[in-house]
Amino acid sequence: MVRVLKTAVVAVTALVAVAAASLPLTAARAEEPVTVFAAASLKESIEQIAAAWKQAGGTEVRLSLAGSSALARQIEQGAPADLFISADLKWMDHLEKAGQIKADTRINLLGNRIVLVAPMGSSVTTTIAPGFPLASLLGNERLAMANVDAVPAGSYGKAALESLGVWESVRDKVAQAENVRAALLLVSRGEVPLGIVYETDARVDPSVKILDRFPEASHPAIVYPAALTTESENLHATDFLAYLQGTDAHAIFTAAGFTVLAKTN
């Protein structure tokens, strides 16, 4: 009997030890920050939303902001992202085909517009229409755009200029930047006289002014999809994706100039 009791005590002690050892790991996982890879044009909005989420009792959100193409390639190469928000459908489609996102979590979150901007002190005026004199407005100077072959803002801009019959006259005058915020900075600093950026970018920089919007029909619809990555095991990532579709996030996105496409929770 004594031997049986001793054996039972040892077994219970072992179970308690195993349970105790697992508690810190579980707690650590529960409090792990949500890592969000988001298009650079979302910077101010996603930072505000992350702060509001944390204040409401959510976990910390760790943000990585860059061009959608760069972020998608990083995820494809194993970067530890929980959530990806792209500035176009192309790069989300790319990751879905590669099996890198959870397709059943994918949503179309936001819409945007592209605009032609100039430094605030510029005297340039124009109306964007087929054949408008963009090359003449530039003269011997350059047009700032995000990379037209990889970054969504650049691709949308190129498509618009092609549709309007203007691209060939300016293609050799384009100063291509690694993302849309870098293109905006060229205009903001006065390094170039004109640039093509998202309307939401232009609205956060007091050093630039919007000359005109590009017609929506001149380029593919600007859609920001969001989805969880297949590698994510973070318990809070799903909650943060839901928060992005809620009324608090909706208000922040709308104030920034985005069109909210996702149904508000």
The overall average pLDDT reported for the chain is 90
Closest CA to 177 of 164, 167, 192, 166: 192
Binding-site annotation: residue ranges: 41, 68, 153, 180, 198
Q: Calculate what percentage of the chain has a pLDDT beyond 90.
A: 86
| pLDDT higher than 90, residue 29 | no
**CATH of the domain spanning 114-213:** 3.40.190.10
On the question of a common fold for 34-111+223-260 and 114-213, the answer reads yes
Mean pLDDT of 235-247: 96
Encoded tokens for 150? 């990889």
Binding-site residues for molybdate sit at: 41, 68, 153, 180, 198
115: Cβ contacts below 8 Å, ≥ 6 apart: 196, 197, 198, 199, 202, 210, 211, 212, 213, 214
DSSP summary character for residue 145: E
User: In the prediction, which pLDDT does 31 show?
Assistant: 75
- Confidence at residue 110, expressed as pLDDT on a 0 to 100 scale: 98
* Res 9 pLDDT > 90: no
C-beta atoms surrounding 127 within 10 Å: 8
Q: Which two tokens stand for residue 115?
A: 């605009």
Q: What is the 3-state secondary structure (H, E, C) of 9-76?
A: HHHHHHHHHHHHHHHHHHHHHHCCCEEEEEEHHHHHHHHHHHHHHHHCCCCCEEEEEECHHHHHHHHH
pLDDT band (50, 70, 90) for residue 39: very high
Question: What is the residue extent of each domain of the chain?
Answer: 34-111+223-260, 114-213
- 25 or 180, which is more confident? 180
Task: Say if CB 109 and CB 92 are below 8 A apart.
Answer: no
Digit-coded pLDDT (tens) for 188-205: 999 999 999 999 999 999
What is the dotted CATH code of the domain comprising 34-111+223-260?
3.40.190.10
Phi, psi of 34 (to 5 degrees): -85, 120
pLDDT band of 26, cuts 50, 70, 90: very low
